[in-house]
């Protein structure tokens, strides 16, 4: 696993060099997990030619240290240091900094950019995602494992599909079975509806009860090591 993360980090550094960038601020938590192994969602990753830095706070510091591979983990005191000030500590003079534009709101970026005026800042999209598109054998196995959990959970839930059961109760039963079988959570909010409510492609489970002859719409997925089935 260590070599896997190191290889991903090196591939991204090469992609940065090819684009004429000296650093990249990664904000999406799926991308951060792909690069570092950290599974939390309160962190920022800064990738430079010299190092990889994971910026988090006291709530996630121990977890980040335990999970991250190839990253220096920094606990930022949000009351005394802004994100921009923290990033600036790890940039060399006149850095060419790219930022993960798809995962940041205007207010946060304006605050960060205002403190990085000595650097050239450029928005980029899809740099990490292009690496993620190609799955290695280990990644394929995680997706297969997630799909197997989802299949088995549905098999175990089928006996509960009886007249009078509610959409909500069935959805909760299915989600319980998935997590009991090892899923980290749901791939997305479970979609489970009966009868006329099947016309709602992304509706939420309700108290509507199952009647004989009803159609059933069902869409769900499990998660293994961050990899999702659908």
Residues of the chain with pLDDT > 90: what percent? 87
Averaged confidence pLDDT in the chain: 95
- pLDDT for the residue numbered 109: 86
Instruction: Report the pLDDT averaged over residues 146-174.
Output: 98
The position carrying tokens 């997590």 is 179
Instruction: Report the pLDDT averaged over residues 181-185.
Output: 97
Instruction: Report the pLDDT averaged over residues 97-114.
Output: 89
Convert the pLDDT of each residue in 53-83 to its tens digit. 999 999 999 999 999 999 999 999 989 999 9
Residue 213: pLDDT band by 50, 70, 90 thresholds?
Answer: very high
pTM: 0.89
Domain 2-132: CATH architecture, name and number where available:
3-Layer(aba) Sandwich (3.40)
The pLDDT of residue 133 is above 80: yes
E strands along the chain, which residues? 23-26, 44-48, 52-56, 72-75, 96-100, 120-124, 191-194, 216-219, 223-224, 227-228
C-alpha distance from residue 61 to each of 64, 73, 75, 81, 180 (Å) = 5, 7, 6, 16, 28
Half-sphere exposure of 184 (CA within 13 A, CB side): 15
Residue 169: pLDDT band by 50, 70, 90 thresholds?
Answer: very high
Strongest mean pLDDT among 2-6, 83-87, 121-125, 164-168: 164-168
**Residues 102-128, buried b or exposed e (16+ Cβ, 10 A)?**
ebbeeeebeebeeebeebebeebeebb
Topology of domain 137-228, CATH: Creatine Amidinohydrolase (3.90.230)
Half-sphere exposure of 33 (CA within 13 A, CB side): 13
- pLDDT for the residue numbered 45: 97
The pLDDT of residue 1 is above 80: no
- pLDDT for the residue numbered 113: 87
3 state DSSP class of 31: helix
- Asked whether 127 and 12 are in contact (CB, 8 A), the reply is yes
Segment among 43-52, 103-112, 127-136, 198-207 with least mean pLDDT: 103-112
Give the separation between CA 32 and CA 203, rounded to whole angstroms.
Answer: 30
Query: Domain ranges in the chain?
Result: 2-132, 137-228
Segment among 99-113, 127-141, 182-196 with least mean pLDDT: 99-113
- How many CB atoms sit inside 10 A of residue 8's CB? 20
The position carrying tokens 């009351």 is 79
- Asked whether 56 and 153 are in contact (CB, 8 A), the reply is no
């Amino acid at each position: 696993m260590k070599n896997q993360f190191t290889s991903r980090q090196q591939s991204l550094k090469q992609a940065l060099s090819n684009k004429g960038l000296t650093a990249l601020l990664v904000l999406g938590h799926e991308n951060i997990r792909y690069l570092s192994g950290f599974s939390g969602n309160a962190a920022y990753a800064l990738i430079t030619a010299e190092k990889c830095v994971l910026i988090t706070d006291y709530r996630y510091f121990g977890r980040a240290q335990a999970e991250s591979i190839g990253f220096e983990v920094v606990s930022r005191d949000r009351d005394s240091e802004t994100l921009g000030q923290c990033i600036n500590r790890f940039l060399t003079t006149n850095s060419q900094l790219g930022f993960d534009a798809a995962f940041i709101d205007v207010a946060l970026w304006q605050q960060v950019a205002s403190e990085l005026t000595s650097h050239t800042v450029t928005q980029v999209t899809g740099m990490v995602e292009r690496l993620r598109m190609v799955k290695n054998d280990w990644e394929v196995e995680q997706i297969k494992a997630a799909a197997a959990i989802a299949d088995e959970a549905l098999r175990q839930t089928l006996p509960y599909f009886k007249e009078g059961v509610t959409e909500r109760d069935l959805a909760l039963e299915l989600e319980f079975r998935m997590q009991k079988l090892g899923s980290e959570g749901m791939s997305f909010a479970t979609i489970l509806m009966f009868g006329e409510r099947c016309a709602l492609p992304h509706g939420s489970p309700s108290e509507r009860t199952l009647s004989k002859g009803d159609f059933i719409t069902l869409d769900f997925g499990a998660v293994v090591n961050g990899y999702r089935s659908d």
